[in-house]
Amino acid sequence: MDVISVIRTKRDKGRLSPEQIDWVIDAYTHGAVADEQMSALAMAILLNGMDRAEIARWTAAMIASGERMDFSGLTRPTADKHSTGGVGDKITLPLAPLVAACGAAVPQLSGRGLGHTGGTLDKLESVPGWRASLTNEEMLHVLGTTGAVICAAGDGLAPADKKLYALRDVTGTVEAIPLIASSIMSKKIAEGTGSLVLDVKVGSGAFMKTIEDARELASTMVGLGTDHGVRTVALLTDMATPLGRTAGNALEVRESVEVLAGGGPADVVELTLSLAREMLDAAGLTDADPEKALAGGAAMDVWRRMIAAQGGDPDAPLPVAREQHVVTAPATGVLGRLDAYDVGVAAWRLGAGRARKEDPVQAGAGVELHAKPGETVRTGEPLLTLHTDTPEKFAYALEALENAYDIAAPGTPFTPTPVVRERIA
């Protein structure tokens, strides 16, 4: 078998055979297929697609490229969640300890931000001392003693995906639905969780801009999970507006702790509880009450133990950016739109994100939102506050926000978009 014939098959809108898929994934993992050749194949897949059988085989081949974890020794049922990424999406931080407080084990393997979307590991690394990298033994220990762990995936888990993801990011093929679905599901299935809830974002700040694309991606991933024996459901959730009132690393951790303390923005609380109920139901814990666990402080207790178990100090002050710039409302009226993508780009330019995976991030950088769509704003009052350690970046961030919001006349009716738009199972 040779890679040129594989590329030509998909270029010419053909169907890759199971043997072709197995061979090309294995050969690429071991360096026998060059990056430029896999780039050509990824672009052909983006343009011409894959059917369900192709995607299932591609996913299985990526799983087979590495190790599989085993949580059968745990006394609790396992439940995991994956978000396709957004702006202000700090949901994992309160969600994992909340679901653990209700009786499930939550092995949350998370990633870093790239471009305008934030990364869970970057956020948590703003907690002094906290470690993202754990051995499998350390991960199992934290999971067994606290009920939840949030950490980076080890190098042995789906290494083909790790290599291919980095390539997709620099070749304009991130948006290919077969490759997104197989990337996410290969890691989650190899991780060994018994059930999985997918948070598929839709809107300007998401990779899926339309409800149709989000629905296709969610259905594909639910099918992959089901085919591999993992109980999988998906929620399509809104990402036209940033989640909560912060976008940035330490800013979002601070907001997450507010949620765990019984407060926080209403949309963050609503989505956290919606996903918690789905995870608990998928794990068979139908009698658990996540709202009670959140209000009563049980989730906060798990958070503190989980952070400490990974070397962090839950009582330490979080980093604060050295410089701030306030954007004021140019008119009085109703905030009709606050674009998630534009806010995410501004936060990224301020230092909260990275252009390449090797780039450092600023823990305190980001954007604070003083109003959300539907709320009244007044001329000259704060609308956004920009945070950074490098004030020369303010002008670049402000460029991203030039068309980020609309203010309607006072009294203009506003109909909010639901946080949860659809459920797919």
Active-site residues, by number, are 82, 161, 168, 183, 187
Beta carbons of 374 and 414 less than 8 angstroms apart: yes
Looking at residue 418, what DSSP letter applies?
P
CB count in 10 Å sphere of residue 340: 26
Please give the distance of CA 108 from its chain centroid, rounded to a whole number: 11
What is the rounded CA–CA span in Å between residue 208 and residue 214? 5
Q: Kindly give the residue spans of alpha helices, DSSP state H, lying in 102-230.
A: 120-124, 136-146, 159-169, 177-191, 211-227
The three-state secondary structure class of 149 is: strand
- In 306-389, the DSSP E strands lie at 323-328, 333-338, 366-369, 376-377, 382-388
What are residue 245's phi and psi, to 5 degrees? -125, 20
* Residue 404 near residue 342 (C-beta atoms within 8 A): yes
Give yes or no for a contact between 351 and 166, defined as CB atoms under 8 angstroms apart: no
Q: How far apart are CA 56 and CA 181, in angstroms?
A: 10
φ, ψ of residue 76 in degrees (nearest 5): -105, 150
CA distance 244 to 169: 27
For the chain, how big is the Rg over CA atoms in Å?
21
| CA of residue 275 relative to chain centroid, distance | 13
Contact call for residues 78 and 106 (beta carbons, < 8 A): yes
Which amino acid is residue 44, in one-letter code? Answer: A
Determine how β-strand 148-152 pairs with β-strand 246-248: unpaired
Q: Are 350 and 385 in contact (CB under 8 A)?
A: no
What is the CA 122 to chain-centroid distance, rounded? 12
Distance CA 203, CA 225 (A): 24
Cα separation, 330 vs 6, in Å, equals: 56
Q: Is 390 exposed, middle or buried (0-12, 13-18, 19+ CB in 10 A)?
A: middle
